[in-house]
Amino acid sequence: MALELGLEQAIHERWAATGALTALVPSARVFTGAAVDQPATPYVVWQRVSTAPQTRTSSGRQVDRTRMRCEVRAEQLAIAKQVAQAVFDAYNRAAFALASGSCLTMQHVAYEEVLAPEGWWRVATEFEVLHEHSS
């Protein structure tokens, strides 16, 4: 569980430290799993789709592959796309420290735009994350 929290926590910390992201969506409107208390739009929800072991290094560290989905929810498609582009710019091919290891790379793998029945836009981008940790 500490590793899971470490990855999501590091994603949140990277968001808070990236001015191009916080200028579009304050870090208080970035959530993990599900949004809380009907936030104002735009807002962002990061979701862990899957995690699978990849390999073990010669030093005994475990390398896992995790698929993360970032959904931008906004009333206007242009705003959602602008935020999604900033997410791509900040996270694609990024490497950063985790609480108990490191993110070796995040690779963009999917993108979709959907008009929700409620009338707001959901623009989602997915990343494959290679991250290592001690087992």
What residues does each domain of the chain span?
2-134
Class of domain 2-134: alpha beta
What pLDDT shows up at residue 30?
97
The structure's pTM equals 0.90
Residue 61 pLDDT grade (very low, low, confident, very high; cuts 50, 70, 90): confident
DSSP category for residue 40: P
CB 84 within 8 A of CB 123: yes
How would you classify the pairing of strands 101-115 and 96-98? antiparallel
What pLDDT shows up at residue 1?
33
Q: Which of 132, 71, 125 is nearest to 103 (CA)?
A: 132
What pLDDT shows up at residue 38?
87
